[in-house]
């Protein structure tokens, strides 16, 4: 290999159009990229690289390049020297003792090609990851991002003051009442029709709260009733709360809900 085959002068580099370099080496991003391309093009097993054949192909590519910039082409020349060194190491004759030691080293994974093989495998892994990430980037470009908005006004349970009861608290308390009712019922029972309306249950609750001034526990108000009456009573309580005739409170999270009569008709 003669230096005249690789023009490296700054003036020559400046006189050559930049497009020439892109045309000659656009496919490859470095010596490992070129080697991997040659191996795939020749359908060679990366774990059994024929150094002589690959070296010849590699040198042919370098010779065919019209422009070789020093800082970029240097990496290609270093790899070419590495390939020739490996090739020479595999071709040089050895005496019996050296061959025996070499065979032992090969058994221990000291094949001269192992260094090159490890580089290529690692490079191939990075190129596959790079292609995957590039595909994900292209896919992300097809999405339209929506600016972040303030949705605090749409929260189902806004921040409550101490002692206030949320819808979730009411739901949890009523579920506990239904579960207690189910545990008290026999396995088989006859369901009787009930004509208790929500308005009837509201009047019944108002009378009960008037007769028992002071706080009343949620569970006591729903005690000794059928499933139908439980649902009707719950709807009646919600309606009384809406009309501000009763006040619901809770000392701590998950504590029992307390019902207080507001004294309004």
Q: Over the stretch 72-94, which tens digit does the pLDDT of each residue have? A: 566 677 777 777 777 777 777 76
Model confidence at 177: pLDDT above 60: yes
Model confidence at 156: pLDDT above 50: yes
Model confidence at 212: pLDDT above 50: yes
Pick 127 or 28 by higher pLDDT. Answer: 127
CA distance 36 to 79: 13
Does the predicted TM-score (pTM) go above 0.75? no
Q: Where on the phi/psi map is residue 53: left (φ > 0), alpha (ψ -120 to 50), or beta? A: alpha
Pick 173 or 189 by higher pLDDT. Answer: 173
Model confidence at 248: pLDDT above 50: yes
Contacts (Cβ under 8 Å, ≥6 apart) of 61? 34, 38
CA distance 23 to 14: 16
How high is the pLDDT of residue 82? 77
Model confidence at 67: pLDDT above 70: no
Mean pLDDT computed over every residue of the chain: 70
Class of residue 205 by CB neighbours under 10 A (exposed 0-12, middle 13-18, buried 19+): buried
pLDDT (tens digit per residue) in 122-155:
888 888 899 999 999 999 888 888 788 877 666 6
Share of the chain above pLDDT 70, in %: 62
How high is the pLDDT of residue 134? 92
**Residue of 64, 78, 74 lying closest to 8 (CA atoms):** 74
Whether 140 contacts 52, CB under 8 Å:
no
Q: Where on the phi/psi map is residue 84: left (φ > 0), alpha (ψ -120 to 50), or beta? A: alpha
> In angstroms, how far is the first alpha carbon of the chain from the final one?
108
Superfamily of chain region 198-261: Structural maintenance of chromosome 1. Chain E (1.10.10.580)
Q: How many CB atoms lie within 10 A of CB 245?
A: 17
Q: Please list the residue range(s) of the chain that carry CATH number 1.10.10.580.
A: 198-261
Model confidence at 232: pLDDT above 50: yes
């Amino acid at each position: 290999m003669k230096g005249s085959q690789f023009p490296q002068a700054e003036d020559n580099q400046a006189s050559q159009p930049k497009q020439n370099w892109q045309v000659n080496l656009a496919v490859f991003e470095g010596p490992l990229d070129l080697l991997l391309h040659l191996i795939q093009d020749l359908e060679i097993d990366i774990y059994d690289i024929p150094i002589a054949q690959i070296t010849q192909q590699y040198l042919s590519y370098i010779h065919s390049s019209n422009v070789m910039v020093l800082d970029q082409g240097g990496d290609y020349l270093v790899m070419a020297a590495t390939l020739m060194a490996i090739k020479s190491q595999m071709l040089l004759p050895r005496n019996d003792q050296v061959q025996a030691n070499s065979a032992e080293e090969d058994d221990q994974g000291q094949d001269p090609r192992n260094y090159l093989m490890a580089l290529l495998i690692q490079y191939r892994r990075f190129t596959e990851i790079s292609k995957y990430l590039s595909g994900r980037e292209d896919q992300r470009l097809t999405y339209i991002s929506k600016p972040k908005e303030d949705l605090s006004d749409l929260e189902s349970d806004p921040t409550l003051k101490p002692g206030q009861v949320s819808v979730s608290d009411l739901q949890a308390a009523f579920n506990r009442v239904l579960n207690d009712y189910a545990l008290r019922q026999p396995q088989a029972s006859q369901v009787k029709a009930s004509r208790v309306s929500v308005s009837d249950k509201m009047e019944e609750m108002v009378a009960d709260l008037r007769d028992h001034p002071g706080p009343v526990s949620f569970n006591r108000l729903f005690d000794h009733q059928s499933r139908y009456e439980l649902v009707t009573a719950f709807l009646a309580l919600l309606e009384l709360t809406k009309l501000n005739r009763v006040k619901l409170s809770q000392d701590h999270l998950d504590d029992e809900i307390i019902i207080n009569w507001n004294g309004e008709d």
